[in-house]
C-alpha cells in the first residue's frame, strides 16, 4: 500500500459534522464529479473512499447511492468504482455550491461551504482524497501535489492552503494545474491540517532520520577536508625539508628549527597542533602551534631562496 493510500485511508476514518461532510462532498464533486443525463457520477479506485462517499451522501441527504464497477482505462489492475447520484440532484448540487439557483456552474464555492476553520480542513480533505498525492519520504524527495482541472478552483484551493502558511504554488500543466508543496515542514503541517496524525508521525520520523544523516555527512565531509589540509601542509613542509637536505642547508637552521625538522620527519601525518603537543611532552619545552608554525615558515623561506 502506497504512502498516499495510507494517508487517505486514515483521514476518511474521522468523525465529521454535517457541515464538514458538506464541505468535503463539495470538494469531491467539484474536483471529481461529472454530470450526464441528470446523474452525478464520481469515480475512485479506493474501496474505502467509495464507502466514505456513499456514507456521506446517505447521512447528509438521506439518499441511496448506486455503485457500479467500471473498466479501468488506465491499465491499472485496480477496480474502478462508479458512484451514481440520481435522487435530489438539483438540490444537492445547489447545496454543495456546485450550481447556483439558475443551474449554472459556480466558479468558486460559496462562503458558507468553507466558512469555518474546520470546514476548510474538510474541504482540503476532500480535494486530497480525489486529487492528492504525497511522496513517501523514505523513498523519494519531499513533494505533495494536487492536480486540479479548472484554473479558478486551483487558485481557490491554493488560497485555502496558504491561509495555513503552507507556501503552496501552482504550475500550469497540459491537462490542468498542479498545486504543490516541496518543503518538508510544510508538508508535515498539511498532514496535521487534514488530520492524518499517523502519517505525520511516520513522516517526521523519516525527516529526523534524514536530517541526522545529512548532518553526519556534513561533519564527515568537514573532517575529511580538514584531514586533506593537514596532509597537504605536512607534505609541503617535508618537501621543503628535503630541499634543505639536498642542498646541505640543514646546518643553516637554528637548534629549535632543527628540532621541528626532526619531529616533522618522525610524525609526518600529524597536524601542527598535534605536533606542538608531542614536542612539548617529549622535550619538556612547551611550544605552541603558532610558535611551531613560525619555525616551519623559516624552513619554507630558506627552501624558497635555495630553489630560486
pLDDT in tens, 177-196: 999 999 888 999 999 999 98
Task: Tell me what pLDDT residue 219 has.
Answer: 65
Residue 214 has pLDDT above 70, yes or no: no
Q: Which helix (H) or strand (E) covers residue 190, if one does?
A: helix 184-193
Q: For residues 292 and 118, which has the higher predicted lDDT (pLDDT)?
A: 118
Task: Tell me what pLDDT residue 263 has.
Answer: 79
Task: Tell me what pLDDT residue 74 has.
Answer: 61
Q: Which helix (H) or strand (E) covers residue 176, if one does?
A: strand 176-181
Distance from C-alpha of 135 to C-alpha of 144, rounded to nearest angstrom: 7
Sorting pLDDT into bands at 50, 70 and 90, what band is 73?
low
Task: Tell me what pLDDT residue 54 has.
Answer: 92
For cell 518543503, what's the residue? Answer: 183
Segment 104-132 shows an average pLDDT of 93
Task: Tell me what pLDDT residue 215 has.
Answer: 61
Is the distance from CB of 243 to CB of 301 less than 8 angstroms? no
Segment 245-273 shows an average pLDDT of 80
Write the Ramachandran bin of 143: left for phi over 0, alpha for psi from -120 to 50, otherwise beta.
Answer: beta
Strand 144-148, strand 80-85: pairing: unpaired
Distance from C-alpha of 172 to C-alpha of 175, rounded to nearest angstrom: 8
Task: Tell me what pLDDT residue 232 has.
Answer: 81
Distance from C-alpha of 195 to C-alpha of 252, rounded to nearest angstrom: 79
Residue 72 has pLDDT above 80, yes or no: no
Task: Tell me what pLDDT residue 141 has.
Answer: 84
Segment 77-98 shows an average pLDDT of 88
Sorting pLDDT into bands at 50, 70 and 90, what band is 153?
very high
Q: Is the dihedral of CA 77, 198, 126, 138 positive or negative?
A: negative
* Average per-residue pLDDT for the chain: 86
Q: Is 213 exposed, middle or buried (0-12, 13-18, 19+ CB in 10 A)?
A: exposed
3-state secondary structure at position 12: coil
Q: For residues 70 and 21, which has the higher predicted lDDT (pLDDT)?
A: 21
Residue 71 has pLDDT above 80, yes or no: no
For cell 497540459, what's the residue? Answer: 174
Of 53-67, 116-130, 222-236, 243-257, give the lowest mean pLDDT range.
Answer: 222-236
User: Strands of 66-70's sheet, edge to edge?
Assistant: 34-36, 39-44, 80-85, 66-70
Amino acid at each position: 500500500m502506497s504512502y498516499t493510500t495510507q494517508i487517505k485511508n486514515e483521514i476518511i476514518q474521522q468523525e465529521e459534522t454535517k457541515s464538514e461532510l458538506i464541505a468535503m462532498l463539495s470538494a469531491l464533486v467539484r474536483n471529481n464529479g461529472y454530470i450526464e443525463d441528470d446523474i452525478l457520477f464520481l469515480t475512485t479506485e479506493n474501496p474505502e473512499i467509495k464507502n466514505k462517499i456513499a456514507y456521506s451522501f446517505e447521512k447528509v441527504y438521506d439518499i441511496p447511492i448506486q455503485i457500479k464497477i467500471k473498466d479501468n482505462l488506465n491499465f491499472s489492475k485496480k477496480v474502478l468504482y462508479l458512484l451514481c447520484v440520481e435522487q435530489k440532484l438539483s438540490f444537492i448540487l445547489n447545496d454543495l455550491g456546485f450550481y447556483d439557483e439558475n443551474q449554472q456552474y459556480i466558479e468558486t464555492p460559496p462562503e458558507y461551504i468553507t466558512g469555518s476553520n474546520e470546514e476548510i480542513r474538510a474541504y482540503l480533505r476532500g480535494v486530497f482524497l480525489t486529487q492528492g498525492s504525497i511522496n513517501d519520504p523514505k523513498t523519494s524527495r519531499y513533494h505533495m501535489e494536487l492536480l486540479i482541472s479548472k484554473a479558478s478552483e486551483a487558485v481557490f484551493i491554493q488560497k485555502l492552503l496558504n491561509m495555513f502558511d503552507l507556501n503552496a504554488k501552482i504550475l500550469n500543466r497540459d491537462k490542468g494545474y498542479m498545486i504543490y508543496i516541496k518543503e518538508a515542514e510544510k508538508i508535515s503541517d498539511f498532514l496535521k491540517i487534514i488530520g492524518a496524525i499517523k502519517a505525520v508521525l511516520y513522516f517526521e520520523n523519516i525527516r529526523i532520520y534524514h536530517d541526522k544523516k545529512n548532518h553526519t555527512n556534513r561533519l564527515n565531509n568537514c573532517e575529511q577536508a580538514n584531514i586533506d589540509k593537514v596532509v597537504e601542509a605536512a607534505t609541503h613542509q617535508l618537501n621543503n625539508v628535503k630541499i634543505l637536505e639536498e642542498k646541505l642547508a640543514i646546518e643553516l637552521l637554528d637548534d629549535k628549527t632543527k628540532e621541528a625538522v626532526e619531529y616533522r620527519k618522525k610524525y609526518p601525518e600529524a597536524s601542527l597542533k598535534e605536533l606542538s603537543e608531542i614536542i612539548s611532552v617529549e622535550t619538556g619545552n612547551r611550544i605552541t602551534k603558532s610558535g611551531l608554525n613560525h619555525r616551519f615558515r623559516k624552513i619554507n623561506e630558506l627552501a624558497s631562496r635555495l630553489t630560486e
